[in-house]
Structure 1
Amino acid sequence: MSAHRFSTHRFVPQGPLTGRIRVPGDKSISHRALMFASLAIGETLIDGLLEGEDVHATARAMQQMGARIEKDEAGRWRVHGVGVGGLLEPAVPLEMGNSGTSTRLLMGLLASHGFQASFTGDASLSARPMARVIAPLSQMGASFTARGGDRLPILMEGAHPAVPITYRLPVASAQVKSAVLLAALNTPGITTVIEPVPTRDHTERMLSAFGVDVTIGEDNTEDGDGARTIAIHGPCDMTPCTLTVPGDPSSAAFFAVAALLVPGSDLVIENVGLNPTRDGIFRVLRAMGGSIEELECREVGGEPVADLRVRHSALKGVEVDSAIAPSMIDEFPVLFVAAALAEGRTVTSGLEELRVKESDRLATMAAALSAVGAGVEERADGLVIEGSAGRPLAGGGPVATRLDHRIAMSMAVAGLASTDGVAIDDAAPIATSFPGFLKLLARAAQ
């Protein structure tokens, strides 16, 4: 792996955010679109695919295993799949870059194929634990050799045939759920995942679009407490289709918070995916007093979509129910920025998962916000933030982003709502999920 070159950047107060913008396609859906299209026999057309580094890592991996993936002159992606069970053993390690989603989903996908595959990644990804995925996939028959037991690089020996299992998620995780369901596609018999807390359901929705019979129900056993069950009877056949990827709500969240915080802002963010398992950030911002209006509500590719009109608002601190965390787990860093300028105290809890993202997002955001003048208390499972009641943050920096794209973009928003601007130590990781972020932010704030 080559040494990372840091790219410092300073974000300063600008004018109000106005006009209409469109954020890139949803990253979670883009990953799945490429993987599932590679498993269908025939050609799938994909519009709106996110073209960040993380999604490119998925595309390269699927190409290494036999899928043909190309972009046509109209900007659509054409994927010629090889069928479930038709993937080829990769001749070289699958380089995942910074993409935890690519890694965990591909580990699941390949766990039921009878060949070896090795996974490598950058320094940030290589520090992230993979035990939550390794545990159920090992029960299905796959074996793993990993640095430190659960860190990249990882060598996986897939099982063929794999063993169907019933797996109850010990913690809410859409990636773990999806890894098991993807392994089930090439596993004879019924594999069931039980999730006590609902998580992102993009996998279930998209598998159905590709012709897979996904059975959704409730666990009504004595200890089931009505938990959600998702079952797949493998092996499955997948049929090609035409997909449109809605705008990424995680990307939209940065602009929504910026518009709420910068006086005079009145911004429309077009084509935002509002899957109920992903829209928690907008619900919480509304509860804080944020003016976020849904326009032109519609359905795109099986996913609910709307244009969001966001206007500057006086926010109030709230206690965020931990039950909403799975629907906005990636958006907490930018929520912390909104809380830093709200009136009163915002309390978050149940966020232990943020300790093992691209960085320890609780510690990193606590340090970053404290460095630019916010009042922050770090707890084991969340942050408590004393808001400024709308007064700009002092600013400063450069703050450490720990190679984490969401930390970098969140502190960029903090810079817009500061007196002296906020410098971050590295803007380069933003390209992993939002390549055009800097240009779009500058355009919206003209």
Structure 2
Amino acid sequence: MGSYTFTSSAPLKGRLRVPGDKSISHRALMFAGLAVGESRIAGLLEGEDVLATAAAMRQLGARIVREDDGTWRVNGAGLGSLIEPRAALDMGNSGTSTRLMMGLLASHGLTATFIGDASLSGRPMNRVIEPLSQMGASFEASAGGTLPCMLRGASPAVPVTYRLPVASAQVKSAVLLAGLNTPGITRVIEPIATRDHTERMLRGFGANLEVSEENGERVIAIHGEADLKPMDVTVPGDPSSAAFFLVAASIVPGSDLVVENVGLNPTRAGIVTVLKQMGADIKELDPREVGGEPVADLRVRHAPLKGIEVDPAIVPSMVDEFPVLFVAAAMAEGTTTTTGLEELRVKESDRISVMAAALTAAGARVEEHEDGLTIHGTGGEPLRGTSNARVKTHLDHRIAMSMAVAGLASRDGVEIDDTDPIATSFPTFMQMLESAAQ
């Protein structure tokens, strides 16, 4: 598709359902692939990243079939019975599945090589290589701990107690997955709580997992050599995908939109909390629990937003939503400050500097700091970009979608240099935006 200009929008109305949660989709395929027996998965996100996970699990011996009605049937290979992949595992653009899969394979006595696209191949894997090496796995990575990377699993691996040096659900999950096939008890100590999809779903699949608190820190213990049982999973809608529509309906006058079936896991739904603090009109309809995860339909209506100081403690629960939050801040009245966002500099792009440049091109007033942005909002006035406001997305899907939302509230439109990366996480984004603004 290439470049595309997003222009001021009619009010967003009606009901829509965003794709399934990416984090939960990856885990559902992996854990079902480790169980003995058949699991069924409904609502799976069918983006390129998740399909890369499905392809990798097939190479390890799981049988995975998509039915015509969109449900996926997975017959697991069984924990400890994975087969050595004949070819390299191509993880595409997915950092999540690469790090989780490294954990999964670290306690199996086989060798696997991980490769990925140009963007993933620039992302460091040292933070999972370090604890998995302590458990006995060995790695031959490219310079800087990047892909291509060859892993030799340990059988048996050694249980460890690992204290996370940085808040990272991916590192925590990698160690817990390695612990699944390791004799004894593997523990992860988490100074700051991160998203807990792995713990919730592993319990659902029958793993023996305990969560306790010691000295104000979470300690997660997994009992190794587990037998995972198959289960049926319904994947909730991805709060990261819903965030674009929550912000869009908040900033486009006259909007009244319902986003159905949104996962509201407290470790993920920080964006809803922060938007409400800014004055967004978001109501939770029919709150319910699906497969251990809290879910609701969200009704969002246009409302004047106010700038706030975002509490850095909420960062882990919305780390991927900051690009679109910056757009909301650019339209708010007053100043929004964000801190504690160093993690954003090592995502698919350096999201702090890329968003600072993109918003400036679109006409926002932004100051960049080492660990965040200060944004002076327009008070609801349309963004007045230069007439040739062309945004460089640096192949980052979240930058592309965030700046698309900014275009809906701009005077002259916002041109995105490349919309193709959106397909990695949200293939139907453009159609949904169009149908809501009819």
Q: Please tell me the TM-score bracket, short chain as reference.
A: over 0.9
Paired residue for 1:105, among 100, 104, 123? Answer: 100
Tell me whether 1:254 sits opposite 2:231 in the alignment.
Answer: no
Amino acid of the structure 2 residue aligned with 1:112 = S
Residue aligning to 1:435:
427
Residue aligning to 2:6:
11
Partners of 2:263 and 2:296 within 8 A in 1 = yes
CA distance in 2, matches of 1:261, 1:423: 19
CA distance in 1, matches of 2:417, 2:182: 46
Query: 1:39-85, CA deviations, whole angstroms, 9 ceiling, x for partnerless residues?
Result: 00010000000000000000000001110100112221000001111
TM-score norm. by structure 1 comes to: 0.97
Query: 1:338-362, CA deviations, whole angstroms, 9 ceiling, x for partnerless residues?
Result: 0001011111011111011111111
Paired residue for 2:398, among 381, 393, 406? Answer: 406
Paired residue for 2:203, among 193, 197, 208? Answer: 208
Paired residue for 1:276, among 266, 270, 278? Answer: 266
SS in 1 for 2:61: coil
Partners of 2:305 and 2:331 within 8 A in 1 = yes
What is the root-mean-square deviation of aligned Cα atoms in Å?
0.8
What are structure 2's unaligned runs of at least 5 residues?
none
CA distance in 2, matches of 1:142, 1:295: 47
Tell me whether 1:359 sits opposite 2:349 in the alignment.
Answer: yes
Matches within 5 A, 1:53-72: 53-72=48-67
Amino acid of the structure 2 residue aligned with 1:356 = V
CA distance in 2, matches of 1:92, 1:83: 20
Residue aligning to 2:130:
135
SS in 2 for 1:180: helix
CA distance in 1, matches of 2:93, 2:389: 24
CA distance in 1, matches of 2:157, 2:382: 56
Residue aligning to 2:361:
371
Tell me whether 1:76 sits opposite 2:66 in the alignment.
Answer: no
**1:226 CA displacement:** 1.6
Tell me whether 1:290 sits opposite 2:280 in the alignment.
Answer: yes
The number of equivalent residue pairs is: 436
Residue aligning to 2:118:
123
Amino acid of the structure 1 residue aligned with 2:91 = M
Amino acid of the structure 2 residue aligned with 1:283 = T
Amino acid of the structure 2 residue aligned with 1:51 = E
Amino acid of the structure 1 residue aligned with 2:298 = L
Residue aligning to 1:424:
416
Query: 1:164-222, CA deviations, whole angstroms, 9 ceiling, x for partnerless residues?
Result: 00011111100000000000011111100011111000000000000011100012xxx
Tell me whether 1:394 sits opposite 2:384 in the alignment.
Answer: yes
CA distance in 2, matches of 1:49, 1:19: 23
Residue aligning to 1:319:
309
SS in 1 for 2:219: strand
SS in 1 for 2:406: helix
Matches within 5 A, 1:232-251: 232-251=222-241
CA distance in 1, matches of 2:169, 2:231: 23
CA distance in 2, matches of 1:108, 1:424: 36
Paired residue for 2:149, among 142, 145, 154? Answer: 154
SS in 2 for 1:123: coil
Residue aligning to 1:193:
188
What are structure 1's unaligned runs of at least 5 residues?
1-5, 220-224
CA distance in 2, matches of 1:142, 1:328: 32
TM-score norm. by structure 2 comes to: 0.99
CA distance in 1, matches of 2:437, 2:355: 24
Query: 1:411-434, CA deviations, whole angstroms, 9 ceiling, x for partnerless residues?
Result: 000000101111111111101110
CA distance in 1, matches of 2:384, 2:150: 48
**1:149 CA displacement:** 3.5
**1:295 CA displacement:** 0.2
Question: For structure 1, which segment, 155-164 or 283-292, has the greater mean C-alpha deviation from structure 2 after superposition?
Answer: 155-164
CA distance in 1, matches of 2:70, 2:325: 33
Amino acid of the structure 1 residue aligned with 2:432 = L
Amino acid of the structure 2 residue aligned with 1:41 = V
Residue aligning to 1:222:
none
SS in 2 for 1:89: coil
Query: 1:322-347, CA deviations, whole angstroms, 9 ceiling, x for partnerless residues?
Result: 10000000000000000001011111
SS in 2 for 1:154: strand
Partners of 2:60 and 2:77 within 8 A in 1 = no
Amino acid of the structure 2 residue aligned with 1:439 = Q
Amino acid of the structure 2 residue aligned with 1:92 = A
SS in 1 for 2:15: strand
CA distance in 1, matches of 2:383, 2:147: 38
